[in-house]
Amino acid sequence: MTLTHLKRAVLKLGFWLMVITLVVYATFPFYYAVVTSLKPSSEMFKVGYWIDSVDWSNYVAVLSQKAFVQSIANSVIVALSVVAIALLLGLTAAYALGRVRFKGRTRVMMLVLGVSMFPQVAVLSGLFEVIRVLDLYNSPGGLILSYTIFTLPFTVWVLTTFMRQLPDELEEAAIMDGASPWVTLTKVFMPLLWPAMATTGLLAFIAAWNEFLFALTFTLTDSERTVPVAIALISGGSQYELPWGPIMAASVIVTVPLVILVLIFQRRIVSGLTAGAVKG
Amino acid sequence: MASVQLERVSKRFGSTHVIDEVSLSIDHGEFVVFVGPSGCGKSTLLRLIAGLESISDGDLMIGDKRVNELSPQERGVGMVFQSYALYPHMSVYENMAFGLKLGKASSESVAERVKETARILQLEALLERKPKALSGGQRQRVAMGRAIAREPDILLFDEPLSNLDASLRVQMRNEIARLHGRLGSTIVYVTHDQVEAMTLADKIVVLNKGHIEQVGSPRTLYERPASKFVASFIGSPSMNFLEGTCRSTDARETRVELKALGEVVLPYGVDSNAVGSPITLGIRPEHLTPVQATGSDAFEVINVEYLGNECCVYVDSDAEQFLTCRVEADTSIARNDTVSLRIDTAQAHLFDEHGQALVRAQDSA
């Protein structure tokens, strides 16, 4: 009797230890960034794990830089455009790939998947030429184009999987009601695909928001940079000084929107991801 | 309101003929039921009429217009699906109004039509609900409402009651019959349930492997099946079949020698070509009476099923399958009794070796 009690207690303890380890492992870097960002520069290199006093000077320093605020705006524009374009193209492609029977459908799907396997570096120089030819260098358009290339395969795959799960009879009912394919897609399928769209849209947003390599390569001036590059290029008074405080403050500022978005769409994402997983 | 004509309509998927040169005419206002075992092509035939599948060969006429290439909406057909296929994110009202709005009707006339439809189907109290908040029968009614709201000339039903439980099915069956009486539109209805077919249809079309076995009123199909397939498919419990040989026939009677029951004299004549060839005698359970055995031709009773209003008696015979008899509920026959069988010879059917019915001389005259 007592032995089973003991065993249960030990198991429970072990379980919570694992949970705590996981949570600390996942959140500690960000937590430390928050703590550091709230310290005045004089205390920057004193190791401390708790927030003793709140000092906003780092935030003020970052937000008073015009270029940084501009880079946030750039990031928002680029990420939202990528999400909008990826969802629009993804939905229409998913309708074709998930609903219309045609020859070579599987091959197209494989091709889409194959495209997403290229490492970024492999296409970097080629893409650079494309962007030069299209006259999109050093403009948000170039970033939107290149991010869309990398988010589309994922978007198409996930949305196609969801689209296939919707019952055929629903589409047929819409056809009987006289709906065109576009009306069927927007009025019947889209409302049912919201969880999937929230999931893929959010992941596309995160990818675009965090992307560094393309953003560094395809932009030149401060006014066109996105947030990750802007943070990396924050520099101190001399080349021997790294302004940790402002960097940490900037990191927190750009992470917060993502955290809020994820919290808002949390439920949808979970239902979206699992619904996609059970039947593919 | 319109009639439907199918002229040598075929449907092929690759090299398989799902529908093979089917010709059929459905009159205006008629209630036609397609029945058949699964895979017989009945749903495909319905979808060809609906316009959800393209016709490979032949002509489909609605009224006097060829509609092969027209969209479902242009054909003026409405359809009720097996799974109802209601739009889950729309209220009952929006579900029924969807098609009307797409048809560019003014919003007042949409509201009016939906209200009228809701009144006919007693859905007025449910208009604001979402489909997930409805019971099976209510969903079924909404699905019907969506189909009739646009006032189509032809209503198509694809096994609409197969998702409902037994008691609700009877209720909805009656509602559909009443609806047909009220709307007077042409209805084509697909089911695998022969009770639904018998109770609802003006005309039943029995399909088998992509072709029509027989078309006729429920009574015709039950009393004069054109083939062994129809005879066994219509009626429950299904017809008993006894192997034998035709000995002689003239204008008034036919003698057949049955392997299990010996010689039987049927009070009607058939085609004289049948004499000497193997035949199958079909007899419905209610026309086969077991009596306590007296002579040598005794059979053992395997089981007696008491159904309240009647009993089914299963009798072991030399045939491949046991024979079924339908008797009064207060029968004294019990399991393991030995009985002899009396055939109501006027109600017996004869089929040739290809399973086609031998036409009675009186009927063909």
Mean pLDDT (chain B, rounded): 89
Cα–Cα distance list, B23 to B13, B17, B61, B66, B121 (Å): 19, 15, 11, 14, 34
What ipTM does this complex have? 0.82
Q: What's the CA gap between B8 and B136, in Å, rounded?
A: 38
Nearest to B72 among A170, A175, A192 (CB): A175
Helix (H, G, I), strand (E, B) or coil at B202: coil
A64 and A6 share one domain: no
Q: Smallest Cα–Cα separation from B191: which of B172, B181, B178, B12?
A: B172
Task: Note the pLDDT of residue B39.
Answer: 86
Q: What's the CA gap between B289 and B299, in Å, rounded?
A: 12
Predicted confidence (pLDDT) at residue A276 exceeds the cutoff of 50: no
Give me the mean pLDDT over the B167-190 stretch. Answer: 90
Contact A177 B81 (CB under 8 A): no
Tokens of B266: 């049927």
Predicted confidence (pLDDT) at residue A275 exceeds the cutoff of 90: no
In chain A, which residues have their Cβ closer than 8 Å to the Cβ of B83? 167, 169
Torsion sign, CA atoms B17, A102, B80, B140: positive
A36 and A107 share one domain: no
Q: Which domains does chain B have, with CATH numbers?
A: 4-226 (3.40.50.300), 237-364 (2.40.50.140)
A226 and A97 share one domain: yes
CATH code of the domain in which A180 resides: 1.10.3720.10
In chain B, which residues have their Cβ closer than 8 Å to the Cβ of A174? 87, 98
Q: What is the pLDDT of residues A7-28, one digit of tens each?
A: 999 999 999 999 999 999 999 9
Report yes or no on A20 lying in a domain: yes
Contact B72 A176 (CB under 8 A): yes
Q: What's the CA gap between B33 and B157, in Å, rounded?
A: 9
Closest-CA distance, B99 to chain A, in angstroms, reads 4
Q: Which residue of A has its CA nearest to B72?
A: A176
How many secondary structure helices (H) and strands (E) does chain A include?
Answer: 13, 0
pLDDT band at B1 (very low <50, low <70, confident <90, very high): low
- DSSP result, A219-278: --SGGG--HHHHHHT---SSTT---HHHHHHHHHHHHHHHHHHHHHHHHHHHHHHHHHHH
Query: Do B242 and B258 form a contact (C-beta atoms < 8 A)?
Result: yes
In chain B, which residues have their Cβ closer than 8 Å to the Cβ of A173? 79, 81, 85-87, 146
Number of structural domains chain A divides into: 2
A170 and A39 share one domain: no
Predicted confidence (pLDDT) at residue B365 exceeds the cutoff of 80: no
Helix (H, G, I), strand (E, B) or coil at B272: helix
In chain B, which residues have their Cβ closer than 8 Å to the Cβ of A192? 88-89
Alpha helices in A116-243 (DSSP H): 120-133, 140-165, 168-176, 181-183, 190-192, 194-210, 213-218, 227-232
Which residues form the domain of A80?
Answer: 57-278
More confident residue, A48 or A268: A48
Q: Which residue of B has its CA nearest to A174?
A: B99
Q: Which residue of A has its CA nearest to B99?
A: A177
Bridge-partner residues for B13, per DSSP? B16
A168 and A30 share one domain: no
Predicted confidence (pLDDT) at residue A269 exceeds the cutoff of 70: no
> Per CB distance under 8 Å, which residues of A are interface residues toward B?
167, 169-170, 172-179, 183, 187-188, 191-192
Q: Which residue of B has its CA nearest to A188?
A: B87
Q: Smallest Cα–Cα separation from B81: which of B146, B131, B129?
A: B146
Predicted confidence (pLDDT) at residue A277 exceeds the cutoff of 50: no
Instruction: Report which listed range, A17-31, A246-260, B266-280, is most confident.
Output: A17-31
Residue % of chain B over a pLDDT of 70 = 98
A143 and A13 share one domain: no
Q: Which residue of A has its CA nearest to B84?
A: A169
Report yes or no on A48 lying in a domain: no
Residue % of chain A over a pLDDT of 90 = 40
Contact A178 B77 (CB under 8 A): no
A158 and A260 share one domain: yes
Contact A179 B102 (CB under 8 A): yes
Predicted confidence (pLDDT) at residue B260 exceeds the cutoff of 50: yes
Name which of B49, B83, B87, B157 to mutate to probe chain A: the one with the most chain A Cβ atoms within 10 A of its Cβ. Answer: B87
Query: Do B235 and B222 form a contact (C-beta atoms < 8 A)?
Result: yes
Predicted confidence (pLDDT) at residue A235 exceeds the cutoff of 80: no
Report yes or no on A91 lying in a domain: yes
A83 and A202 share one domain: yes
A36 and A77 share one domain: no
Q: What is the pLDDT of residues A95-152, one digit of tens each?
A: 999 888 888 888 998 988 888 788 888 889 999 999 999 999 989 999 999 999 889 9
Contact A173 B82 (CB under 8 A): no
A27 and A149 share one domain: no
Name which of B98, B101, B104, B150 to mutate to probe chain A: the one with the most chain A Cβ atoms within 10 A of its Cβ. Answer: B98
A64 and A151 share one domain: yes
> Per CB distance under 8 Å, which residues of B are interface residues toward A?
50-52, 71-73, 77-79, 81-83, 85-89, 98-99, 102-103, 146-147, 150
Q: What is the pLDDT of residues B345-360, one digit of tens each?
A: 989 999 998 989 988 8
Name which of A169, A170, A176 to mutate to probe chain B: the one with the most chain B Cβ atoms within 10 A of its Cβ. Answer: A176
A126 and A166 share one domain: yes
Name which of A99, A100, A177 to mutate to probe chain B: the one with the most chain B Cβ atoms within 10 A of its Cβ. Answer: A177
Give me the mean pLDDT over the A151-167 stretch. Answer: 90
Q: What's the CA gap between B213 and B207, in Å, rounded?
A: 6
- Quick check: bond before B237 cis, omega within 30? yes
DSSP B227: B
Nearest to A172 among B52, B73, B146 (CB): B52
